Structure 1
């Protein structure tokens, strides 16, 4: 890519710079994960006595269920984001199941590229986009 050419996250995948299907910024991403974590804390406290492993398990389950049913966790959806496959089409079954397991490891989510894709997204072929 020519260094004089303007680049924005998602451009190499044909995504717009802003608006629907663009790559959301960090504030929305952090807001989404905080919503998911707070929801996980609450559900784990009510149903499992608020132990650490149950909080993580609920978080993973929320992401898996949301990914399979709505292409995004409750936090993603409230922050107007969704998970999209890089190749286009439907999200499928593998990405919504594997992606949350990788996020739970924390490190893959911190290893981001120029398109704001963490290692968890690169490994399953997805990108987070605006709705």
Structure 2
């Protein structure tokens, strides 16, 4: 084997050293890119909350598709206004706009929720820790 790898040199100096470095996001602490574990846990909390809310209105019958509507509302409204779902607040993460805007806003929140519902766009990540729904809406999920 020859070349840069064989000699131990790495000519790929443009590769980021941590998630979010190319975006100007710190390596760790408050304002760093949230990891997949915390994001998944927040999502599961939101699903459980949506199931409880829908069950409260449909009991004793199973909530059925009402839990999807409850999840959509629990996801879109708080992210639009505050940048975080109840699960995100619990896990101390939030959604921020990359352009520095104060609020995520309704169209970004709706697109993020719709793509999260499809699962695949939310499951495919780049090196910066951003899934398709983050990249399409110009957002990133950060630690508090």
The offset of 1:52, in angstroms, is 3.2
Q: Partner residue of 1:58?
A: 70
Q: What is the alpha-carbon distance in structure 1 between the residues aligned to residue 14 and residue 81 of structure 2?
A: 42
The offset of 1:12, in angstroms, is 0.8
Q: Please say if residues 115 and 122 of structure 2, whose CA atoms lie closer than 8 Å, have aligned partners that are also in contact.
A: yes
Q: Partner residue of 1:129?
A: 142
5+ unaligned residues in a row in structure 1: which ranges? none
Q: Does 1:37 align with 2:41?
A: no
Q: How many residues align?
A: 131
Of 11, 16, 26, 2:36 maps to 26
Q: Please say if residues 16 and 22 of structure 2, whose CA atoms lie closer than 8 Å, have aligned partners that are also in contact.
A: no
TM-score (norm 2): 0.83
Q: Partner residue of 2:18?
A: 8
TM-score (norm 1): 0.90
SS of equivalent residue, structure 1 residue 52: coil
Runs (4 or more) in structure 1 with deviation over 6 Å come to none
Q: What is the alpha-carbon distance in structure 2 between the residues aligned to residue 45 and residue 112 of structure 1?
A: 33
Aligned Cα root-mean-square deviation (Å):
1.8
Return the index of the structure with the highest Cα Rg: 2
Q: Partner residue of 2:107?
A: 94
Q: Does 1:107 align with 2:115?
A: no
The offset of 1:60, in angstroms, is 1.1
Q: Does 1:46 align with 2:59?
A: no
- Select between 78-87 and 88-97 the one with higher mean Cα deviation: 88-97
